[in-house]
Chain A
Amino acid sequence: SAVISQKPSRDICQRGTSLTIQCQVDSQVTMMFWYRQQPGQSLTLIATANQGSEATYESGFVIDKFPISRPNLTFSTLTVSNMSPEDSSIYLCSVRTEVGNEKLFFGSGTQLSVL
């Protein structure tokens, strides 16, 4: 497995502001993903963070709202832009560690509350 560190662990933000969440992995990984978990709900994939190129977004998520960077094989950021109370969720970074290995591992998450 991999050790996945997310910062911040939680934040309370004002409507209309933006928050950038960082994900750092202790080893190089093949794939990094960002998930959203709304209160009491399951996990929904936001996008796949591609190293050195634009992220691949799932239906319902757009780059202007959730810009993602992945400058190298161990680090990625997710920004939640122009926040509204509906963005209050847990945001999770996840990784697959090697080609051919199906296992998906998650970070501890960022609990975001928007007032």
Chain B
Amino acid sequence: GENVEQHPSTLSVQEGDSAVIKCTYSDSASNYFPWYKQELGKGPQLIIDIRSNVGEKKDQRIAVTLNKTAKHFSLHITETQPEDSAVYFCAARGYGQNFVFGPGTRLSVLP
């Protein structure tokens, strides 16, 4: 079955700097890759997603890139702000399959 790895497990950046979180997946049939942000005491919030027929997608300060050949995808956050501090989860899903989530990255943005 699918296996999703995520790095780093923790990440600290200065406010205004960029943050990058990387995930790798094992099943080449996976075709949908969302990213979630989870703040303390809240459920995961979908922040951006990408399908396998697209290499990059941007939404304001966040972007996701996908390399199907290498089977990895990354979340990029630019101009980080303290409110970006949270746990971020990546996930992968193949057609007709359930989502498999990565172990999470705790991002701290230092003022």
Interface residues of A (CB under 8 A from B): 1, 4, 6, 41-43, 45, 48, 58, 92, 102-109, 111
Main secondary structure of the interface of A (DSSP, over half): loop
Q: Which residues of B contact A (CB under 8 A)?
A: 32, 34, 36, 41-46, 49, 51, 89, 91, 93, 98-99, 101-104
B101, A42: Cβ atoms closer than 8 Å? yes
Total inter-chain residue pairs, C-beta < 8 Å: 43
The answer for the CA separation of A62 and B41 in the assembled complex, in Å, is 27
Nearest-CB distance from B79 to chain A (Å)? 25
Q: How far is the CA of A109 from the CA of B44 in the complex (A)?
A: 9
Are B43 and A42 within 8 A (Cβ)? no
Q: Is A42 a contact of B44 with CB atoms below 8 Å?
A: no
State the majority secondary structure of interface residues on B. Answer: strand
A103 in contact with B103 (CB, 8 Å):
no
A-B contact pairs, 10 of them (CB 8 A): A41-B103, A42-B89, A42-B103, A48-B98, A102-B32, A102-B93, A104-B34, A108-B42, A109-B42, A111-B41
CB–CB B104/A92 < 8 A = no
Cross-chain contact B104 with A42 (CB below 8 angstroms): yes
C-alpha gap A29/B100 in the complex (Å): 21
- With A42-B102, A43-B89, A102-B93 as contacts: A107 and B43 at CB distance below 8 Å: yes
Task: Assess whether A103 is in contact with B99, with CB atoms less than 8 Å apart.
Answer: no
Q: Which of A4, A6, A104 contacts B99 (CB 8 A)?
A: A104
